[in-house]
Structure formats: structure tokens, C-alpha cells
Chain A
């Protein structure tokens, strides 16, 4: 088999490991069914293998390390959707995929099928180091400083069944990007890493203690420039401090952000340095040889741009305005002039954000094979990116997407809504989030309207656990329970990235229809009163929330 583009190619030891892990899980299921394990004991064990008990059934969350899939793997996911679920899967904000309707007895068989394509569900849940997320434009974007995926793979391996860090106080999420734009929301992770090259090899800026959830916190800088050699030592040291001192008496106070907040970033940094001082760093050194060995298992795409690609593309855009609109919103500059990065929107107006049918998965796998070196990237905004598409082939690509009903031209626009599964699936939910997402998606479904509104992010969570990242949306929506009925709180002005900030609550919670109407009025207000070229978020920053609050509650 040829090596996959964009992700690590398994070797035999990695496959053996997966088989050992599956055998372990199969044994755990047996012990649960025989009663040798209590449900209380089994729960953390199944969670560490991605299995949740939801409202109606078990859910399996499959890991997509640093968000990268190849066509063969996506076809395997389609097979799982068909054979064990109801014919679809749901891509999450953590670059994973969830199957919502599986049975526990099938789980070992599903894991075996996944392992055939070098996939697993390890550490997609539980109080351990979770799947490492990365930049969806990695290795392709023009503005990128370095491709973070080799280091993401090194972190994946390092964190896999780590003997010391598998029973942490709480879950632990790490994201890594090599772009100055911070496309991974590094400041909203337990640890966020921003990689950059230097004369003496890669350097890592390390943020710690960020996160959304009940207590949204913007992460703080722990170290500015950790050399590659000390990357693993630094992470070990940080996790050691957290494992020893993180709170365990209160589920809601157990994340590392609370520890950092409680003792302060300076003492926390001193504690990490004290660990590092006690460690024999040579023992933990990430050597250039090791990095090179991992890198050698990543294939790079062989780019062959054609001379007249730009002219061909311009002609296609001229002939087909719908395609031109899609180009405008759904593509991003590639480092090679002859190529583009294309984003496939999983936000077809009126559909559930992030849901994909088995047929669409197979179709996308074919399209990636034809146009994008068989490589697909799942984004933290629940879309799919094709990293390297020849400009003259974009039109054919778009036509293929149209046939799959996946050609919505709304990336970064009002229709590109991020939503958690909410009360339809999740046992923790206060309110449904999917119907609201569908209504808003339909309300702003018109492509021309979205183009006119411009950059806008809407994020919906069904409860304060914030899986839909509602604090980080320009408009955030939070489901709350008001005397037994579902209500929605609106937040304004959040954003991820470089200038990460947390949205402010606008006012009292509204019913579903009132919330949709209030948001529509705020957007109308923006359209009527914006300065030239001013985005929604810029206007909110300029004027504050007061005028928006006024229009939002106008009729209530």
C-alpha cells in the first residue's frame, strides 16, 4: 500500500497494538456482562474507548487523529454507519466522528472493522489525554509557518495509554497549529501549542488552562519558546503537576484551567519548572532522528500544477455564478499557486450540522481520491477540507459535491452553524439544539443573503458544558431549562483565534422561535447600520451589546 498523504502510515507494531487494545476491551465488555465489573467501574473503561450511554442507545466516538482521514478510512466509516448504525455519522467539533445508534455487543466487532483501516476509538472520551486536534489547513495554507501534523502524531503516540496520565482529574485536550492565525483555538484548550520554525529547529509556544464549558477561560501563555527536544518533557511536567494537584472532589472544578486560575499562572509555571528541574531531560529528549522517522511515514502530495489553471478557473467562474459564489466562500489560498484548499460544507441548509450519510461518505471518499490525493480533513467547525485541489479541477469537484448535496456556499458565513447534539441525543442536555440549528440554517439559507451578511459564526450548545462552543461564537446560543421548558440564552461577541474572547450574555432566555426571530433582527440591524466593510463582530466591538439587545428584545 502507498503511504497516505497527510497522516502517519501505521506499521505492524501499531496494528498489533490496536488488536491488543480491542482484545482488552472485548474482555471488559464480557466482565461487565458477567457482573465482574460494576457499571461504576465499567463506565470509565468504556469511555476511554469512546463508548457513551446516550438518551436512546450507546454512542461510539471514533478518533480521527489531528482530523486527517484517507479515502479508505472514510469508506470504512461509511461501512460502520451502514452496518451498525442508521446509515449516518456525526462529525464533532473535536474532529472526531460519532455513531449514535450502536449496541454495546457490537462494539468489539466495530472496533475490529475500524482497525482494518488503522482506526480506533482510543481516548476519545474519559479523564485522559484526548484526541490531539490540529489545523485543518495544515501542510497546505499559504500563511502556515510549519506543518504541525508530524508533531501531532508524536503527541498522539506519546499520549496513547500513558501509564501515568490515564486517570487524570478530568479530560485533557491538546491542540496544535503551525499557523500564525491560530486556527485551532489554542487558547481554548487545556494545552494549546503554536509551532514555528527557527534556525535551530521548531519552537513551540505553549498555552495552558484555556477551555469553554461551564467556566470559560482564555488560556495563558506558559512558555514562549519550547525547543522541539524539550516538547515531551514539558508536556510530561505539566501533566505531572496537574495529576498531583488538580481537584478531584468536584467534577466542575477539576479541569486544569481551575488549577491554573486558583494558584495563578506564575506559581503554576514555577511548579512546571520545578518538575523539569528534577527530570533527566536527556531521557525525555525528542530527538531529530525520532521526528525524522515519524515524518518519513507521512507522504507529501506530489503537486503538478498546470500552466493555464487560473485561466480555466476564471472561465468556469464566469460561466457559472453559483460556482463563483462557492469559490468565494469555500476556498482558501494554497501555498502552491496552481492549487486551492476547498472546504466541503456539512451545513446544508435545513440539515443537522455535521451529519453525513453513508452514501455521502462514500461519495466524498471518491471525490478525495479523484481530486485531493485521497486526503480529507475534519474541521473543528464540523466541515471537511480537501487540502490540495488543482485549480482547473475545482469546477468538476464542485459539480461532484453538488450531486452529493454538499455544495452549500456558506463557509464562515451565517449558515455555517456549529451545534452540539443537544437533547435529541445527549443525556446532559437542557434543551434541543439541532432544531434551532436547522431553523437558523433555513432562515439564512439563501446564498446571496449570506454573502451580504458576510463573516458570522453562530454556535449552539444544549447545556453549559458548551460542546457547541457557544462562548466562542460571534453569536452564541445556550440551551437552558426554565421550569421544565426549553429556553435559549443568546451571547454576543465571542471569538476564537488570536483575539480569543468570550461572548457576553445578552439578556433573559427566549423560546426557540423568539430566539430565531431575535437573531434575525440583530442581523437586520447590522445590515442597516454597519459602516462600510464592517463585519458583524467589528460592529459589536464598536457599539457594544446595547443596541443589539434593544432590537433583540423589541417585541418580547
Chain B
């Protein structure tokens, strides 16, 4: 497993992250700094804990399931979350710019994944039609 960095922010190395679930976080908030949200869990549920959280991991069960875009954007826009947002699961390089624009920093990729598509895709569009969290 390796990370592709979309935003060029400082990121937490893949081997260090050990995210807990939302339920675990609620039960044992002490010392947790990384949390994994399921697609049907809302960003708002993290509000009481965000001061201590530096990594939120969002999940794509399949690339067509776009709920993580709304979760990421909500974390940035509504919760003013400044830490790292990472996505796992089935994502395509074709989604790179959308992810970045919704505030996602990193993508978890298989070790053998060729990152050149991701690089190319990030540079593809110089023109966009909406304002967003990041350009």
C-alpha cells in the first residue's frame, strides 16, 4: 500500500496511520488521532473530536459511490477541519481532480499502482466552472 499525495500538504506516512472507527472513537476518545468514516456516517459526527484528529480516512466501496466527496467537502467547509483527509477503496485516477477539489489530500493505492495516470489527471484541467475547497 502506498499513498498518492494530491494536495502536497504534509501527510502522515501510510505505515503510521492506525485509524479507529467512529464507534471506537466515541467510546475511547483518549489518544485517538486518526478515524475512518464509513460512507453513511456524517462528517458532523466528528465535530466533538476534531480538535484531536489529524487524519480522517474516507471510503469508496466502489468508485461510482460518490458520498465521500460530500463528506470531504463538509469536513472542510462546515467543520473547518484542517488535518489530512485520505481516501481508500476503489477510486480511479479519473477522479483525482474532483477529490482534490473537495479537499482530499491523499489516496491509498496498491503498491504496484502506476502513479503516472494520477499525475497526468491532476494536471489535466486548467479550467473549472465552480469554486471549490481547493483549486
Contacts and interface: CB of A to CB of B under 8 A. Distances in A.
A27 B92 CA distance: 13
B129 A167 contact: no
Contacts of B67: 243-244, 248
Contacts of B92: 37, 41, 45
B129 A248 contact: no
A163 B69 contact: yes
Interface of A: 13-14, 16-17, 20-21, 23-24, 27-28, 31, 36-37, 41, 44-45, 127, 157-158, 160-168, 240, 243-244, 248, 278-280, 283
Q: What secondary structure prevails in chain A residues at the interface with B?
A: helix
Interface string B102-133: 10000000000000010011001111111110
Contact of A163 (B74, B94, B130): B130
Nearest to B68: A167
B64 A44 contact: yes
Given A14-B127, A17-B129, 11 more contacts: A17-B125, A21-B125, A160-B129, A161-B98, A161-B129, A162-B129, A163-B73, A164-B132, A165-B69, A243-B67, A243-B69
Nearest to A41: B92
Interface in B23-81: 42, 63-67, 69-71, 73-74, 77-78
A278 B66 contact: no
B86 interface: no
B97 interface: yes
Given A41-B63, A244-B42, A161 B125 contact: yes
10 contacts: A37-B92, A41-B63, A162-B129, A164-B70, A164-B98, A165-B66, A167-B69, A243-B66, A244-B70, A278-B77
Contacts of A45: 92, 94
Contacts of A20: 124-127
A166 B126 contact: no
A21 B117 CA distance: 15
B98 A166 contact: yes
A24 B121 CA distance: 8
A167 B66 contact: yes
Given A28-B94, A240-B70, A167 B124 contact: no
B70 A166 contact: no
The 4 A-B residue pairs whose C-beta atoms are closest, nearest first, are A167-B66, A163-B101, A17-B127, A163-B98
B100 to A, nearest CB: 8
B30 to A, nearest CB: 29
A248 B101 CA distance: 23
Contact of B129 (A16, A157, A243): A157
A168 to B, nearest CB: 6
Contacts of A243: 66-67, 69-70
Interface of B: 42, 63-67, 69-71, 73-74, 77-78, 92, 94-95, 97-98, 101-102, 117, 120-121, 124-132
A545 to B, nearest CB: 41
A31 B116 CA distance: 13
B5 to A, nearest CB: 18
Most B Cβ at <10 Å: residue of A21, A157, A163, A166: A163
A262 to B, nearest CB: 15
Nearest to B123: A20
Contacts of B124: 20, 23-24
Contacts of B130: 158, 162-163
Given A41-B92, A166-B98, A278-B78, A16 B127 contact: yes
A13 B128 CA distance: 9
Given A28-B94, A163-B98, A168 B129 contact: no
Contacts of B98: 161, 163-164, 166-167
A244 B70 CA distance: 7
A142 B24 CA distance: 64
A194 B33 CA distance: 48
A243 B125 CA distance: 24
Nearest to A280: B77
A158 B125 contact: no
A13 B70 CA distance: 27
Nearest to A28: B94
A166 B78 contact: no
